[in-house]
Structure 1
Amino acid sequence: MEVPGKKLLLKTSAVDTTYCQPCFKDGDNLPADAYCTVCKEFLCSNCASVHKKLKISRSHALLDKFSMPTSMSGDDDEYIEWCEIHPKEFIKYFCPTHQTLNCGHCVVQNHRSCHVDVISDLSQAFKDGPEYCDIDKAIAKLFKDIDKCVSDVEKNKTLIAEMSECEVSKLRRCRDEVNKYFEERENALLGIIDQMKNIDEALLDNLRPKCDNLKTEVEEIKKHLKTQENNTIQLFIKAKRAKQLLEITQTALAEINKKNTIHQYRFNIDSATERLMESNTGLGIVEKEVIDTQNALGMQIESDVDLTELKLIRAASIPVKSPIDTRDCFISSMLLLPMNMLLLADWHNDTLKLVDLQTSSMVSHVSVPGKPWGMCLLPGDRVAVTMETIIQFLETKGQLTLSDSIKVDDDCRGIAHHDGSLIVSYFSGKLQILNMKGGVIRKTEKYMNGQQVLVSPFHLIVARASQTAFVYVSDIEMNTITKLDMNLNFLQTFRDPALKGPMGISVFANQLIICCVKRNNIICINLSSGKMSQLHVEDDVIPDPEYCVYSPLQKKLYVTFNKHGHANHAENSVKVYNAIE
């Protein structure tokens, strides 16, 4: 004969009546008036009173008869998670259709038509299953993402410190060249720089603790899961809840990444300062803009793109022959300008041409007093262009407009700008650093140890490697790329069989892009590793490439060609290659 209340002590899945468990052991079947959440026992009113008085149990939380569970089976010793909807019931079931954790009441009320699983049955194999494995991987990925965010924050702090130091240094050098009249303006500009720096530092200092908090939360989730790995039921429940917490944490991390932006600002010398002491913009201005640090710590869009991993697919060309041209075009160099514009130097037609990359059309052109070869961007929407024995300055805001020019002592070719100075190469093989009025600050010797170092340095560029600026020069006769420091000291020479006839040299992020006219290819040099690789072109050959630039906005490579001296091979367009990952 079955003894009333016996089900309470049996390890079954049946629903039991709620009797006082201590009294039942003495043979009494008294209804329960309380439930101890620590001892997991139902108690009558007398036992509950004693429970509260005993030193060992007086701190235990008791649920009254209105809050306690309505039933308890033997398996309930393993169920300790309360239902959020029905606080008196334990979670025992999982609905795979709705992906919900349920008590018995939830199942009856909301899941009658569903196939509902008993958690104790599912949990046995859960720890070794793919879902728990995915959660574990998600935690590991989130740790990695958080660490990357922390690293980006630290890099930005370094960047703003270096940027502040660099811009203040330029400001100081400019200040030394003018009289005391500019003292008030100097202090104002220093205040702007300091304000920007403080704003950015305050933002980054605020983001770092948030990253640390997220990391702590994820560590807590992992810790809780680890502590429950021997209790498969509890592990299942904790893991299901952990998925929701991980999603919330991922959303919070995305918000941190979204806010992890700093201002870009630079000090630009105002041209009116040299001519007019009464200018209301005397000494210069500090320009500011926000950098998306997720895309580029180096102030480039998509700066983490490895050009050697892209497939370059030929697309439509951009025609560049204008109605006033008297000869077929020979585009000696190109320069990416703000607002998605591309400036072209047409050597044959003594013309500079402006192309809108968004519409792939030529929108402006201007005749120049010489044959344009190399170009470089200057502060304040200006460009410097080498034209035989002069360097012509050009205003690019709006229409192309010729400005002033300076004379040089030889046939100049490549040109770059750095820190208020011009670096120029010459047909004769020498390099010079000039001030903005044409005065020679420094120059290279033509011969070193009895040998000519540079023979035909037709193109050069200034690029940064590990935050330090260097000059890189292509030499078509020596088949080399030469690296120099900013004092024109020779540091390194790149040689390779694929590097034959290097001409145009441009830079994208930490990668040099070099057109090899004698090898019909384009070479990329990673400035961090020094690794030299060939770009992957659809036909594996780019005939006679003269100059190329990569636009991260358009995700295209623009290439000009050297058909100079080739009969019936006129090239009056810029070829376009789509960059496919």
Structure 2
Amino acid sequence: MAVPGKKATKHFSSSTISIGSDEDLQVYCQPCDQDGSRLPAYGYCTNCSEHLCKTCYTLHRKHKLSRDHTLLDKTSMPQTMSPVTPTQSDNFTKPCPKHNMEMIKFYCHDHKALLCSVCVTLEHTATSCQVNYIPDISGQVINSTEYQDILKKIDDMTEKSSKTLQDMKKMNDKSNKSLTDALSELKTFRSKMNQRLDEMERQVEEAAKVIQKDNNKNLMKVETECGDVSKSLKSSSDAIKHFNASKKGNDLFIELKHMEQIIKDYKQSIAKLTEYKVKEYNFEPNEAISNLLDKDESMGTLKERTLNPDLKSRQCSHMDKICIKTSQDNHECTITGMTLLSPDLLIITDSGNSAVKMVDMSKMSVLAQQCFDSTPWEVTSVSQNELAVTLPCNQTIQFLSVSSNNLKKKHTLKVDGTCHGISCHKDKMVVSFLSPAKVQILLINGTVLQTIQDDNIFINPFYITTSDNCIYVSDSGMKTITKLNWQCEVKGKYVCKDKPYGLTMSDDGTVFVCYYDNNTIEEISGDCTKGQVVVKDVPGPQTVVWSAETCTLFTSSYTEQNFIKIFKLSK
């Protein structure tokens, strides 16, 4: 029964608002709505989870009980009053890693970061970032392509973890067998000696046991870490499938984004495990002992030799090609350098048009282009948001910033020569020069740490690729691939069948190299002792890059200058 003189209160439920009028579609002030007045929302309180009109927004800042609440302005507030799907809920369960008392509720597209309200207020404001309230967008992830991709990445990483363990077991068996053979050689040699040598024999045997113990200890470590990775990935996979099956979009969205970083971390962890170098041994007798039994001489040593995984037998198939010519180009494209920022984002140097281009591999198109007054040669990633490009004619290295659809020039670094090849690893750059012919290791700020300049090693060192332990340089004048350590010491050399140009390192530690004149791409073992042709009949390949995630090679071709060719290789 209505009370005389008092207006009946209207109650609106966000879940039952009908769609059809402008009023229904408007985001309105929820406190005023309780009194029957529907006013446009001016902001949003993340503590109260309510939209506020301008008056309520102002009073919210002044009231003692709410003055410390986190408020979002009109540009940052959620743009809908209800979840995307009827089953969606605004209950957030994952705490922010930076602000433990806050739950993750937002997503920044520019930084690909999950955020809480404090993160949005302090670091990812609407003026600088594209931020969405997760319930506004999370409904899209149920049974989405991203959901399928993350599950596939989990399966791939699980398979890679298992394969890494199997490879390490094989190498460990080889190492232990080599030690057994070395000890057999020791006993053959020892049989010719008298009792005076017993003590020396035991010393070598103990050394072998220590190495075997270390081998087995390291193998157990790999087993444990790979097992932990597999268990973690299985648990995450089950959680993702559960969230998807139960249509918990918020949890699924957060877990998928969270898993992207975890997968990257696991990739780095697995990569580090593959760097474990197991050695083989053979016994080298001391010939002088036969005549010097009364001397305190060593019986021999266990000499290390690096054990490298064998080259795989690979099947190659031509998948596709991408046109990289744009409306800004005045000439045919000449691709001299490439690097991958992610499986879907390829950066190329187009010397023919004096430009650096960003290519979206999923859309098969050029996203952005930055032109230069001088011809660029090679490009490398300094970080996910920064590139370094060599400009030989200017004897400079140009740094570029990378955003979602833009390349922008930053600062330049002057170097002492015509720089061509470049590869960044952590806080260091390795740069090759043609005049004078040399290779330098520099800090990012330009400080020169090491230089190797020797006409017997380098004549035309065009391209470089790097890893944690080594540097590979292709020299078209010497027709060699030279392996260096980070002290610029030569650790191996592969004599090529023809002039080598662009090269890239695989996740297995092998190196793919282009033969421009020979129309092939060859895979070379990490120790530079053997090689095998993996891609044939690709006219004039000059530069190449490897994608471990998709097991594909991207390369240029002289006869199809405006295209990037893509080749799928078997694992």
Question: What range is the shorter-chain TM-score in?
Answer: 0.3 to 0.5
Look at both structures and tell me which one has the larger radius of gyration over its CA atoms. 1
- TM-score, length-normalised on structure 2? 0.47
- TM-score, length-normalised on structure 1? 0.46
